[in-house]
Every structure is written in C-alpha cells, then in structure tokens.
Amino acid sequence: MSLLKSAHGGNTREAAALLGIPPEQLLDFSANINPLGMPASLKRALIDNLDCAERYPDVEYAHLHAALAEHHHIPSSWILAGNGETESIFTLVNSLKPRNAMIVIPGFAEYRRALQWGECAIHEFALREEDGWQLTNAILDALTPQLDCLFLCTPNNPTGLLPDNHLLQEIAKRCETLGIALILDEAFIDFIAGEQGFIPLLQANPHIWVLRSLTKFYAIPGLRLGYLINSNEQAVAHMRSRQMPWSINAFAALAGEMILRDSAYQQATWKWLEQEGKRFDQQLKNQPGLTVYPGLANYRLLRCDRAGIDLQRSLLEQHILIRSCANYPGLDARYYRVAVRGEEENNRLLAALSLTLNGTALAD
C-alpha cells in the first residue's frame, strides 16, 4: 500500500508531515516538473506585471488563444484554454457527456474522476507487464460501437511510453468509424524533441480532441495552464459558452501569451533531457534489483524486484520523495515513478537508491 493518501505526485506537505520535517527539506522526485524552473523571461514579466492582479482578465482570453493558435498554426477558434489541463479534462467530459468511456490502465487518475461526475460506465483497457506496458493493437478489438469516448495519454503517465504512430492512426480510424470521440492527452509531449503529436492531423479528424498542459514543460504548476483543441469550432464554441468565466488567472494568461515563443528555453530543456535523461537511465539500470522502463518524457517508471523493500519509505527516510504507483489500477506496490531532475539531484536519488538496494553508497 502507498504510504501517502494523495492520488498525485508532488504532495510534499503530506510526506514531510509523516517525517515531522518542513516540506522544503524534501527532494521531490514525485512530480514531473521541468527542473530548469520557469523561464526567466516569464519570471521577469510576472514581476513587471504584478498590477494585472488588479484587473479582470479578458473573459475571452483573446490574446492567449491567439498565441496558442500561432504556435500550433491553427485557428484560435479550435482552442479553449483552461486552468491547467485538468480543467480542460473536466470541461470536455462535462460537454461530451459520454455514457460509455474507455480508459487505459495504468493511467492518469483525473480521466476517471471526471467521468465519474456524470452517468458514465467506465471500461478499462489494461496494458500488460509482458508487453513492457506498451499499448498494442489488442486495443483495436476492444473498441466497440457501444463506446462513445476513448482516453489515451501520449506519452502515457506513468509509463512515459509513446504508442507506435501507426497504431495510433489505426485507433483514430477505428474511432471515426465507430463514432467514438478520441481524446489524446499530450500533456508531456513537448518534452519529446521533434514530436508533433496529433495537432497537425486535427483538420481532417473532428472526432479527435487533443489536450495539452503547459504546467510541466514550463514549470508553472502553481500558475496552471492547459488547453483543449478540436477542429469543430461549433463544438469548441459550445464548450467556451459553458466554461466558468475567468477561470484562468491573469498571470497564467500572460504566461501562455509569451512562453511558447521562448525557443531558447525549449532548446535548453531538450538538451538537458537528452543528456541527463540518458545518463540517469544508465545509472538507474546499473542498480541491482530495479527494472527501468524506457520512458521518453521527463519521468521513469521503475519496478523494484527485491521482495520486502518499500522504496518510497526507505527513500523518504533519506528525505527523498518518489511516487509510489501502488494506487494506480493496473500496477502494484513494486512500481514507482521518478522524475528526471538535474544532475546533482539525480545523483542524490541514485546514491539513496544504491544505499537501499545494495546497502552501500555509490562508488564515484
């Protein structure tokens, strides 16, 4: 069983309270946030624009939607921004009102929570350990006319794996034939350099909804910004008309208007992940009793193959918080998720893992 009650990573308050220490003393590997921190250009703009708080943001967020549209080369009428992608998930589900939805397990918890708000039967498609947790074409047979909605996370959380592109196209075709709304959660896709995702294919596929988050890549989980995209502008307009007004605060809107243009930050992030991700993977694989899944985003799924070791507990004793995956349907207490952070922090995690798994500190 997971030590913590929280259904998400990043709950340093709860973890620190267990140890009786201030949350700042914990090194957090449980939330998948870009370790470069928020772009310096954004920090400056926030400081310079503090008086935004004294005005209502534009209720239509015209500049924000225009900036997102410019970035993706699509009309702004296809986009609806939300207070984090989480709000976009709930907006979408509230509007589509699916009666029979399929989710993939293990997967992000909020699809289920959003679907449970309505009268929706939830069908699970289980990824399998023997497939290395990769999505296979077995899902094609699981898609039946009874379904009206399918959630896929690309790359998936917590596995970090991106389904084969050909398979995704097949799934998209099958969903179109069967009248299933395909919801692609691309919250972490920005971390994969050169990966465009499905936005360029939306024009011809109004049955596909893409969800994006800016909170992870641009390290603004406290500011919060996400959006949904669909090429049926009437459908998006309908959602816009039903969304709570001013749900995005002025600072988050300002962030969205500028950060997508910060190509130096994007390049620096890809460089960090390319270099440090590779090194981290190698070092993790050298740890005895640990299976590392080849995630492409900024986190890795691990399986601890040593019976009787609770990695979360023993790392917490060393003031390091990792995500136990025991409460993910489809996984169990052997599984953990860790973020990829900067070299120094990663070395601290590796040393703590080594102490737990080998009983010795890492050799230099």
Question: Which two structure tokens, joined as six digits, stand for 218?
Answer: 């641009």
For ligand PLP, give the closer residue by CB, 280 or 299.
299
The token pair at 175 is 């969903």
Please state the closest distance from residue 216 (CB atom) to ligand PLP, in A: 7
SS3 43: helix
Q: Do 101 and 150 form a contact (C-beta atoms < 8 A)?
A: yes
Contacts of 235 (CB under 8 A, 6+ apart): 95, 206
**x-or-dash pattern for ligand PLP, window 321-360, by CB under 6 A?**
----------------------------------------
Choices 33-41, 80-88, 238-246, 347-355; region in contact with ligand PLP by CB under 6 A: 80-88
| Residue with smaller CB distance to ligand PLP, 159 or 354 | 159
Cβ neighbours of 138 (radius 10 Å): 12
Could you give the string, one character per residue 179-208, with x where binding to ligand PLP holds by CB under 6 A and - elsewhere? ------x-x---------------------
User: Which positions ≥6 away from 360 have C-beta within 8 Å?
Assistant: 354
Stretch in the footprint of ligand PLP (CB under 6 A) among 56-64, 78-86, 174-182, 275-283: 78-86
Output the smallest distance, CB 109 to ligand PLP, in A. Answer: 9
Q: Under rule CB under 6 A, which residues in 137-156 are in contact with ligand PLP?
A: 153
Number of residues that bind ligand PLP (CB under 6 A): 12
SS3 call for 267: helix
Question: 107 — phi, psi (to 5°)?
Answer: -160, 180
* CB-based closest residue to ligand PLP: 84
Amino acid at 35: P
CB 172 within 8 A of CB 231: no
In the set 61, 78, 108, 251, which binds ligand PLP (CB under 6 A)? Answer: 108
| Residue 110, C-beta contacts closer than 8 angstroms, at least 6 positions apart | 86, 89, 90
Binding status of residue 163 toward ligand PLP by CB under 6 A: no
Q: Which of 213, 230, 269, 283 binds ligand PLP (CB under 6 A)?
A: 213
Coil vs helix vs strand at 126: strand
Residue ranges in 49-180 assigned as alpha helix (H) = 62-72, 85-96, 109-117, 138-142, 165-178
Contact map string, positions 214 to 243, toward ligand PLP, x by CB under 6 A: -x-----x----x-----------------
State in angstroms the smallest separation of the CB of 111 from ligand PLP: 9
3-state secondary structure of 263: helix
Residues 41-70 that bind ligand PLP (CB under 6 A): none
To the nearest whole angstrom, how small is the minimum distance from the Cβ of residue 110 to ligand PLP? Answer: 7
Write out the residues near ligand PLP by the rule CB under 6 A: 84-86, 108, 153, 157, 185, 187, 213, 215, 221, 226
